[in-house]
Structure 1
Amino acid sequence: MKKNFYYVRHIILLALIFLFSINGDCQQVKKESSVLPLDPMVRTGKLPNGFMYYIRHNEEPKNRVMMYLVNKVGSVLEDEDQRGLAHFMEHMSFNGTKHFPHNELVDYLQKAGVRFGADINAYTSFDETVYELPIPSDKPELLQGGLEIMRDWAHEALLDPEEIDKERGVVLEEKRLGKGAGERMQRKYWPVILNDSRYAVRVPIGLDTVLDNFKRPVIARFYNDWYRPDLQALIIVGDINVDQIEASIKQQFASLKNPVHERVRTKYTVPLTGKNQFMAVTDKEMTTTEAEILIKHKAPEQRTAEDYRSALVQGLFDRMLSERYAELLRQADPPFIAGSAGISGFMGGLDLYDASVQTKPGELEKGLKAVWRETERLKRFGFTATELERAKTADLNAVESELKEKDKTNSGSYVKEYQAYFLRGEAAPGIEKEYQLTKNDLPEITLADVNSLAKTYITATNRDILILAPEKDKSSLPDEVTVNRWLKAIETEDLTPYKDEVSKMPLLSAVPVTGKIKSEEQNKDLNITTITLSNGVKVLLKPTDFKNDQIIFSSFAPGGTSLYSDADYQSAANAAGIVTAGGVGNYNTGELSKYLEGKQVSVKPYINERFQGISGGATPQDLETAMQLIYAYFTEPRKDSAIFEGAIARSKAGLTNRANDPASVFSDTVSAVMGSHNIRRTGPSLEKLEQINLDRAYKIYKERFTDAGNFTFTFVGSIDTNVIKPLLEKYLGSLPATNQHEQAKDLNIHAPSGKIERTVYKGSEPKATVYLVFSGKYDYSPENDVKMDAMKETLEIRLLQRLREDESGVYSPGVQESTTKLPQQRYSFLVHFGCAPQNVEKLIASTLDEIGKLKTDGPLQENVDKWRAEDRTSFEPALKTNSFWLGYINGQLQNSQPIEQISGYNALVDRVNPEGLKEMAKKYLNGDNYIRLVLLPETSIANKQ
C-alpha cells in the first residue's frame, strides 16, 4: 500500500534493517472478493514462462522513465559455499553481459547521461535483488537499449572468470566500509534476535572465505538456479507508450527459460519460539549505552480492505505513541538521550513492538524504566479521545494531499509500490481507492480499536532484551534477572492515566497591524514577481505547476553568527534551535506540536555564519498558519529554561564517549584542519556546551530578527497571487523594521595554505579513509563554476575506472567541489575513498597520477561528453521542481548575482572542452595548497614503528 504505517524507530538495528525484506508469498488464501484490486492505471501481465511486468505511463518527470528488474532472489537462497554470492552476482551483472561485455554497460549508460551509482544502481537483500535504471525516454534507441539491458540483467550475464577475480577486491572493499563497532556487535546478537533462523547466517555481504576463493561454477550455479523468469518482474513507469513497451517486453522476455530441474524457492521465515531472550554486547568503540525490547509477532498481511483498515489503526497507534515519547524529551531532566516505542516491520514474516532507549552514562535503569513506563501506561489506560481525533485529522489531511498530487507523483513512488506488490503481495490499489478507504474507515475507528493493539503487541512472550554498551562499562551492566526485575517494578507501579493537555489559546498573542504592498516588479521570462512591502521586506513569488498542493519558502538577511565574538559563538550558533525548542507565540513546544498535528505545515528559523532567516513549507490551505508562525518567530519567540537544561544535559551525555568512535575523531580532525583550527570549526565538546547561555542566546536571536526590513522572502509553488498578497501584507508587512541594514563580516576562516599531512590512528578494523584536498583563491564566475563541476565529474569517471575497476582497490571513490563568492572568492576540491590500510599509498599515488594527467593532457573528450550528457539528464528534470527554484533564487540573491543567469547555463555547458579543463586543473590542482588526511587503524602505529 502506498501509505507506509511502519514508523521504524530502531536504535540498535538501523545500520542494516533497510536491506531486509520479507518474502512476499501470501501466507493464507483470502476470498478474492475482499482482495484489493491493483491500481487500474498500471498495465500488468504474465508471460507463459512466469515473467511478470508492470507498466504505467507517468509524466513526472517529463521525458524520463524508470525501469526496475525485481528478482525474488536474495542471500537466503545461497548454499553454504555461496555465502555472499547473491550480492556478488549483482556486481557481475555490471561486469559483462551478452550485449555489453566487460565494462561496456557502464560506459554506454554514462554516454547516455546516466550516472553509475547515482542513477544506475542495484541492491541485494535477504529475499530480493533489484536493478534500477532511470533513463531519458525521448530517444527511441536509448529506450530500446534500456530494455536490452533489462533483458541482459534477467539472464545474460557472462560471468567471465577474469572479471570475477577483478570484482573480488571491489566487493571486499564494500564489505570493509561496513566494518566497525555496529557490525561487530551485530554478529553477536544477530543469531539471537533472529532465533537462529536462516536469516542469521545469510547476511547479504557474505563471508571473506567465500568471496576470496569461490570459482566460476559456484556462482554460475546460483545464477542458473535462481535468476529465472518465474521469480522475476519488470516494472516500467515513465513518459512512455504503454502499448509499445508491452509489445517489446513480450518480444524480448518470452524467450527466457526456467531451469529444467527447477529448485523450489523455499519461503524462509524467522520462527516464533515462545521464548524470551536476553543479551548484553559491548565494544570498545561503542559510544553510548542502548537498550531495546523487541516483542516479535507474525506480521499481518496487507492485501484486503480489512487489512488496509488494520494498517490505518496501526498508523494512528504509532503516531500517538510517538508524540508521547517526544513529550518526555521536553522535560527539564529528560530520563534518556533518546527513547521511542511503536510497531514496526521486521523481517522473515515478522513485525514487532519495539521499545528502545539511548541512556545517559550510568543511567541505564532510569532510562529503560522511563521507556517501559510509557509502554505500561499505554497498555493499562490506552489513548485519549483528543489524541485520536488529532491523529485522524493528520492522517486524512496527508492522504488528501497525496490525492491532490496524483498527477504530479514521481515515477519512483509508483515503482516502489508495484515492487512491494510483486515481492510481498502488498496491496497497491491506487491513491483514489486509498483515499476512499481512508475517508470511510477513519471515522469508524474507535479508541477500543487502537487500544486493543497495545494488548495484542505488548506481551510477555517472544520478547528479546538487547543491551549494547561501551566495553569499559561491561562490569556494571545488569543481567537478565535484574532487567526483568526493573520491568516488573514498572508493571506494578501506581501509574496515572496520560493527560492530553491542549491549549485553546490563539497562536498569536496580538493581531498584526497590516502593512501594504509598496511596489511590484515583473520578470516575465522567469515568471517571478518581486514585491516590496511598506516596511522594506522584499518578497519574490514564483508560481509553478510542478506540484498541485505545495508551497515552499525561505528567507534571509545578512549578518548571522559572523557578527558575534568567539565567546558568544556557541550561544549564537544554537540560538535558533533553542528558540524553536521553546515554542512560539502563546504555545510551548508541546502545545505547538499538537496544534500543528492536523496541518500540512513546517516553519523553522535558522542562523548560520552569514545569514539568518526562516524556511518552511505548507499546502495552500495551511499557508496562513505558516505565515502566522513566521510572524510569531519574528515577534513572539519564547525561551524555556526547562527544555534548554534538558537539551544541554542530553547533549553532554551524548558526547561522553565520542572519542571512542574512529569516524567522529577523524571527522573532527578534518574540520579542524580545514578550518585552520579556528574555534568555530573544531568539533563539539563539553567545554563548548558550557559556553551556551540561554539568556544570551535568546537576546542574540531577537537581535537577528529585529530588522525585517533587511529580509528577502522567496515563495515557490502552487501560489495564487490573489490569495497570498493579503497574507504578505498582514503577516510580513507588519514585521518590525529598524532599517539597520547590517552586513555579515568576513571572519577570514578558510583552509590553510601550503602542503599539510595529518594521519589519525584510531579504530581496530583494518580499514582506512583518505581525504585529499586542494583549495585556495578562486576566480568566481558562472563559467568557472561549470568548468569546476566538469573537472570534478571527469576526474571521478577516471577514478572509478582506475581505482575500482582496474586496481580493485576501492568500492566507490568520490570527488566533491565547492566554490564561494562571499566573503571571499575561494574553492575546495576533495577526493575521498575508503580502502585497505596497506593500499593507501598506492591508491593515493594513482589518484595523484590521474590528477597529473588532467593537468598535462586534460580529460578525454569522451569523458567530457559523458559529463555533459549527465548534466543535461539531471538538469532538465530539476528545472521542473520547486526545490530547485527556491535554492537557485536564494543562492543568486545572496551572492548578488542576477537571477536571469540561468538562461545562459546550457550555453556555458556547451562551451566546456578538454583544453579549458586542462587549464583549470593546472591552476586549481597545482598542489601548492594540498592537504592529505588519512584515518588508519591503531595497529598501523606499531607497523609504522
Structure 2
Amino acid sequence: MNKKINILGFGLVAVMALNAPAYAQKKTIVAKKPTATVVKKMEGTIIPNDPDVKIGKLSNGLTYYIRKNAEPKNRAELYLATSIGSLMEDDDQQGLAHFTEHMAFNGTKDFPKNEMINYLQKAGVRFGADLNAYTGFNQTVYQLPIPTDSVLVFKNGFKILANWAGKVIMEGEEIDKERGVIIEEDRQRGKNLQERTSKQLLPLLLNGSRYENRIPIGKIDILQSFTHDKIRNFYKDWYRPNLQAVIAVGDFDVNEVEQLIKASFSELTNPANPRPRLKYDLPDNKEPLVKIITDPEQTHNVAMIMYKQRGVTTKTTADYKRSLMYSMINSMLGARLQEMLQKGDAPFIFAQSNYGPYQGGLVTGINAFQTVVASTSGATLQKAFEAGLAENERISKFGFVAAELEVAKKNILAGNEKQFKEKDKTPSSNFVQQYLNNFLNGTIIPSIDFRYEETQKAIAAISLAEVNALAKTLTTKENQILIIQAPEKDKAGLPTEAQLVASLKSAGSAVTAYVDNSLNKPLLDKKPTAGKILSETKIADIDATQLTLSNGIKVLLKKTDFKNDQIIFSSFSKGGTSLANDSEFKSAQMVGLIAQNGVGEFNPTQLNKLLAGNTGRGGTYIGDLYQGFSGSASPKDLETSFQMLYVYATNPRSDAEIFNKKISDIKVGMANKNADPESVFSDTTQAVLSSYHKRAMPFNLEDLDEVSLDKAFAFYKDRFADASEQTFVIVGAFDMATIKPLIETYIASLPSLNKKQDYIDAGIRAPKGKVSKTVYKGLEDKASVELFIHGDYEFNAENNVHLDALKAALEIKLLERLREKESGVYSPSISLSVEKYPSAHYYFNISFSCSPANVEKLIAASLDEVNKIKVSGVSADDISKFKSEEQRQIELNLRNNNYWLNYITNRLKNGEDLGQLLKDQQRLDGISAESTKAAAQKYLGEDNYIRLVLLPEKK
C-alpha cells in the first residue's frame, strides 16, 4: 500500500503539478551571477558531439539533427522544437503560446480542420499516445513517431512538421471552439489543492521574475476574450525558422532525410524585423524566504528547504566528472535517509534530499539542493525538519565514508556498462531527448562509446576527499527558501516562521559521524541442493522451450535478441490472498510489507549495499488469486536474481521494527485521506464496483488495527511453502547452456509438497442493473465523472478483439464529441478491462472532468455516442484507424521482451493457446461495421450501467 504525500515543493513544484506534462518541461535561461556559493571550476577537455548524429543548419537558420537508428525497426521519431514559450507572450497574450500549440492540430495550410489527425490515425499513429506536443516557459515541442516502411507516410511526416513550423491557419471559428478545451484543460489539471497552493508558492519560488507572470496555461479571462489577431501575431512573431529545430531519429537513410528537411523547410522565412528573443533571470535573496501554507484538503504535514545555486552546463570532461559526483552524493544521502526511515524512532515518515535542477528544471541555469520531510503531525513537524537538516549538516561536517562511496561507484558503473552493452538497441526516443536538450539548453551529446569510457575513467579518478569537498557546498547562507504545507486542522501546532529560521541555523549542531552497517557475508551461505530438469518440449508457435522440473515446476523459456543485456522473468500459481480466512485476511492484504523487511539476515539497507553494482534482482508477490516470483538481470548477474527468489521463498525476514514503522506511517496517511476529494471518490468507486463486498472495501484505520506481523509472516511462509505448481516464464538474452544449471540449482530446488491448490472465489462482483451515486467533496468548481458499462461474457480472443475495436471507436467518437464539438472536456478517457477469472467479465469505463454545470449534458452526449455505435456499428473510417493502430502496435510488441513475458503468462493463466497471436491478423480482418454493430448491441447495453459523479461540496 503506497503513501500518497502531496509535496508541491520538491522536484516538480506547484507550477509543474499544475501544468505537466502538457506545458512545463526543460526551460532555457541565462541569468546573472548569483551571490550563492559557486563550485570552483575544474579543468577539462571539451566533450565532442556524437559523430553518428548529423547536425546542420539551413540558410534560414533552422537547425536539424539526423541520426539513423534501427530500434524500433521501421519507425522514426520526428520532432519540431521551437525555442519559444510563454515568456515571449505580451501582457495581453498570456496563455497564447500554449493556445498556439493546440491550434497546430486544428488546421494548417496542407491539412485543414482535423485532417492531420485523421490522416495519421489511418497510418497507425495514435493521437495523444504517439502524436503530441507540450509548451513551457521557453519552448514548444511537437512530437510525431511515424512508420518508415510507407514512403508516402514518412515523407508526409516532414510535411506535417513544416506545417506546424510555419503554416498554421488560425481560423477564427476554430480558435473560438478551442477556448473551451483549454479552459477545461486548466480545470482538469488545476482546480484543486495543488492550484491553490501554487498560487501562494509562485511569488516565493519565482520571486517577482517574469516567470511568475507567464505561467504557460495563461489567464482565464484572456483565454476567453482575446481577439483573433493576438494569437495570429504571436504565431507570426515567434514561429520562425531561426528559432526552430527538426529532429529525426529512426530506421531510415540519413541523406534522404536531409533532403526531405531541405525540401520541406527551406521555403520558411523569418520576419523582416524580428522581435528580439530576450532571456530572463530569477533574482537572488539574501535572507531566507519563508511560506507556511495550510489547506483543508492537504493530507500530510510537509516541510522543505531549498538552497538555490547557479548551475554549470556540462561542456567539459571536468563538468561531467562533477555531475557524476553530484549523482553519488544524491545516492548516498538518499540511502542514509532510507536507513533512518526503517527505524521505529524515525523522526519523519518521509524524507528525501537531492541536488539538481531548480524545481525539476523550472528555470534552466539554476540548480538547488532540496530537502523535504513529512511528519506524523503538525506538532512534530519542526522535529522532523530539524532531523532532515541534521543529515545535511552531518555530510557537511563529516562527509561520507569509503564504503558508501564504493556502493555509489559500483551502481554507476553497472548502469554505465548496461547502457554500453545495449548501445545498438538504444530506442530512438532516447537520442531525440539528447538532441532536444542540446538545441534548447546547450547540453552535451556525446556518443555512447565516449560516455562509457569517460564514466569509467572519471569513476576511477574520483576520491572520497573530492566528493566530501563538493558535499560541503550544497548548503549555502543565501538563496534559501523554506516552505511548510499542512492540513488546516493542524495549523495551531505548526512552527512559526521565526522557529523555522532558528532551526535552520541551529539544527545539526550535535551530530556525530555516520557509522556504516554493511553486512559482510554472501546472500546464501551455501547453494541449495539442485533438482533436475525432467523433460524439455519445444513450442514451435512462439519459438520457445518448456522445461518440467523434478519439483513439479514448469519453466517456459523464450530466448530473444531484442535487448543485448536483459533477462526478465515472472511466475504464478493459484491461491493468493483468496485463501486467507477472515481472521487473517487484513494481515494477508499487507503481506507485501514482508518482502520490504529485507531477507535472511539482511535488512533492506544492508541488502542494497550487498547488491551494489549487481543488476540481478528477484522477489515475490502475493495477489488476490495468485502468488509467485518476478525479477530481472543482465545475463552475467542472472544467478543473483535466482538466488534472491530462492532466499525470499525459503528464508524471509520478520522485522517487527520495520514492519510496525511502515504500518504506523500508513496510519498517518489514512487519518487524513478523507480530506482529499479524489481519494474519497476513488474509495467510493472501489466500493461500488465490488458491491461493497467486505473483502474488496478500501482499507481504513480500523482495518490497520487488525494487521498482525505474525499473521502476515505466517501467511507469507505458507504461500511459498509449496512451489510445485509454479509456472515460470523467462524471456531475454540468456544462453540455454548457462541458464539450465541455474534453473536446476535455484528453481528446481524450491520447496515442493505436491499439493493441489486453487484460489477461492469470494464472490466479488460488480453490481447488476443501474447504479448511480454522487459524492459531494471538494472546494473547487470541478466535477469528475466515471461511467461503467459492464457484463459477463464468453472470454475468448475473437470477442476480446471486438471489445478492443469498440473501445477504440469510443475513444475517437468521445474525443470528437466531448472535446471538439461540445468544448466541454480536455481529455476524455476510455478504458477497457477484461478478466477471465474468477468470472469472465468486461468493463468499459468512460471518465472525464468538467464543469459541474455540464455534467448532465456531457453524460448524455457520451451515452448518445455509445448508442450511435449500437445502431450503426463502427464506421469504415474508424475501423480502418483501429486496424492500422493495432497492426503497428503488434509490430512493436513482437520486438519487446515485456510484451512476450505478459503475453505468455496471460495465455498460460487463462488456459489459452500460446499460438493465439498467429491468428491476430485474421481476427483483425474479421472486424467490420456489421460485426461491431452486433458486438455493440451485445456489450454496450445499459442493463449493467454504473454512473459515479464527484461534485464540489454543497454550500
User: Same fold by TM (over 0.5)?
Assistant: yes
Q: Write the letter of the residue equivalent to 2:380.
A: E
The counterpart of 1:21, out of the listed 23, 26, 33, is 26
Q: TM-score, normalised by structure 1?
A: 0.97
1:255 and 2:267 are equivalent in the alignment: yes
Shift, 1:127, TM fit: 1.1
Residue 292 of structure 2 aligns to a residue whose secondary structure is strand
Per the alignment, residue 86 of structure 1 pairs with: 97
Residue 430 of structure 2 aligns to a residue whose secondary structure is helix
Q: CA 1:605–1:669 in structure 2 vs 1: closer, same or farther (change >3 Å)?
A: same
Shift, 1:9, TM fit: 5.5
Contact in 2 for aligned 1:11/1:357 (Cα 8 Å): no
* Structure 1 segment 813-824 matched on structure 2, within 5 A: 813-824=828-839
* Structure 1 segment 216-255 matched on structure 2, within 5 A: 216-255=228-267
Contact in 2 for aligned 1:550/1:619 (Cα 8 Å): yes
* Structure 1 segment 196-211 matched on structure 2, within 5 A: 196-211=208-223
- CA offsets 1:537-558 (integer angstroms, 9 cap, x no match): 1111101000000000001110
Per the alignment, residue 420 of structure 1 pairs with: 437
Distance 2:70 2:940 in 1: 42
Stretch of structure 1 that moved more, 301-310 or 720-729: 301-310
Residue 491 of structure 1 aligns to a residue whose secondary structure is coil
Contact in 1 for aligned 2:285/2:480 (Cα 8 Å): no
1:640 and 2:655 are equivalent in the alignment: yes
- CA offsets 1:846-890 (integer angstroms, 9 cap, x no match): 111111111111121110111111111112111100000000011
Residue 669 of structure 2 aligns to a residue whose secondary structure is helix
Q: Write the letter of the residue equivalent to 1:285.
A: E
1:905 and 2:905 are equivalent in the alignment: no
Distance 1:344 1:358 in 2: 20
Distance 1:747 1:339 in 2: 39
Distance 1:26 1:192 in 2: 18
1:933 and 2:948 are equivalent in the alignment: yes
Distance 1:518 1:771 in 2: 51
Q: Write the letter of the residue equivalent to 2:180.
A: G
Shift, 1:471, TM fit: 1.6
1:764 and 2:779 are equivalent in the alignment: yes
Shift, 1:366, TM fit: 2.0
**Length, aligned pairs only:** 930
Contact in 2 for aligned 1:39/1:430 (Cα 8 Å): yes
Distance 1:832 1:661 in 2: 19
Shift, 1:578, TM fit: 2.0
Q: CA 1:11–1:141 in structure 2 vs 1: closer, same or farther (change >3 Å)?
A: closer
1:560 and 2:565 are equivalent in the alignment: no
1:504 and 2:520 are equivalent in the alignment: yes
1:524 and 2:529 are equivalent in the alignment: no
Per the alignment, residue 467 of structure 2 pairs with: 450
Shift, 1:510, TM fit: 4.2
Q: Write the letter of the residue equivalent to 1:927.
A: E
Distance 1:401 1:387 in 2: 22
Per the alignment, residue 468 of structure 1 pairs with: 485
* Structure 1 segment 103-502 matched on structure 2, within 5 A: 103-178=114-189, 179-346=191-358, 347-348=362-363, 349-361=365-377, 362-493=379-510, 495-502=511-518
Give 4+ residue runs of structure 1 displaced > 4 Å after superposition.
11-14, 24-28, 30-33
1:654 and 2:656 are equivalent in the alignment: no
Stretch of structure 1 that moved more, 629-638 or 680-689: 680-689
Contact in 1 for aligned 2:42/2:318 (Cα 8 Å): no
Distance 1:20 1:805 in 2: 26
Contact in 2 for aligned 1:66/1:412 (Cα 8 Å): yes
* Structure 1 segment 725-874 matched on structure 2, within 5 A: 725-874=740-889
Shift, 1:923, TM fit: 1.3
Shift, 1:324, TM fit: 0.6
Contact in 2 for aligned 1:295/1:354 (Cα 8 Å): yes
1:892 and 2:907 are equivalent in the alignment: yes
Per the alignment, residue 37 of structure 2 pairs with: none
Shift, 1:371, TM fit: 1.0
Shift, 1:603, TM fit: 1.9
- CA offsets 1:462-499 (integer angstroms, 9 cap, x no match): 10000111122223322221112223332322x21001
Stretch of structure 1 that moved more, 210-219 or 356-365: 356-365
Per the alignment, residue 4 of structure 2 pairs with: none
- CA offsets 1:799-839 (integer angstroms, 9 cap, x no match): 11111101111111111111111111111111111111111
Distance 2:723 2:43 in 1: 62
1:716 and 2:740 are equivalent in the alignment: no
Q: 5+ residue gaps in structure 2?
A: 1-8, 34-40
Distance 2:498 2:747 in 1: 60
Q: CA 1:198–1:11 in structure 2 vs 1: closer, same or farther (change >3 Å)?
A: closer
Residue 903 of structure 2 aligns to a residue whose secondary structure is helix
Q: Write the letter of the residue equivalent to 1:208.
A: I
Distance 1:602 1:685 in 2: 32
Distance 2:129 2:27 in 1: 26
Contact in 1 for aligned 2:386/2:508 (Cα 8 Å): no
Contact in 1 for aligned 2:721/2:752 (Cα 8 Å): yes
Distance 1:925 1:342 in 2: 50
Q: Write the letter of the residue equivalent to 1:837.
A: P
Per the alignment, residue 5 of structure 2 pairs with: none
Q: TM-score, normalised by structure 2?
A: 0.96
Contact in 2 for aligned 1:233/1:422 (Cα 8 Å): yes
Q: Write the letter of the residue equivalent to 1:364.
A: L
Shift, 1:267, TM fit: 1.4
Distance 1:449 1:548 in 2: 35
Distance 2:99 2:265 in 1: 24
Contact in 2 for aligned 1:672/1:683 (Cα 8 Å): yes
Contact in 1 for aligned 2:10/2:304 (Cα 8 Å): no
Q: CA 1:31–1:256 in structure 2 vs 1: closer, same or farther (change >3 Å)?
A: farther
Contact in 2 for aligned 1:121/1:132 (Cα 8 Å): yes
Residue 907 of structure 1 aligns to a residue whose secondary structure is helix
Q: CA 1:117–1:597 in structure 2 vs 1: closer, same or farther (change >3 Å)?
A: same
- CA offsets 1:159-195 (integer angstroms, 9 cap, x no match): 1010000000000000001220111111111111222
Contact in 2 for aligned 1:74/1:127 (Cα 8 Å): yes
Contact in 2 for aligned 1:566/1:679 (Cα 8 Å): no
Q: CA 1:525–1:930 in structure 2 vs 1: closer, same or farther (change >3 Å)?
A: closer
- CA offsets 1:359-408 (integer angstroms, 9 cap, x no match): 11131022111211111111110000111111111111111100000010
Distance 2:889 2:736 in 1: 30
Contact in 2 for aligned 1:515/1:733 (Cα 8 Å): yes
Distance 2:473 2:605 in 1: 29
Residue 141 of structure 2 aligns to a residue whose secondary structure is strand
Contact in 1 for aligned 2:616/2:639 (Cα 8 Å): no
Q: Write the letter of the residue equivalent to 2:618.
A: V
Q: CA 1:38–1:269 in structure 2 vs 1: closer, same or farther (change >3 Å)?
A: same
- CA offsets 1:294-336 (integer angstroms, 9 cap, x no match): 1000111112212111111111111111111110111123221
Per the alignment, residue 4 of structure 1 pairs with: none
Q: CA 1:812–1:473 in structure 2 vs 1: closer, same or farther (change >3 Å)?
A: same
Q: Write the letter of the residue equivalent to 2:914.
A: I
Contact in 2 for aligned 1:605/1:633 (Cα 8 Å): yes
1:579 and 2:591 are equivalent in the alignment: no
Q: 5+ residue gaps in structure 1?
A: 1-7
Shift, 1:24, TM fit: 6.1
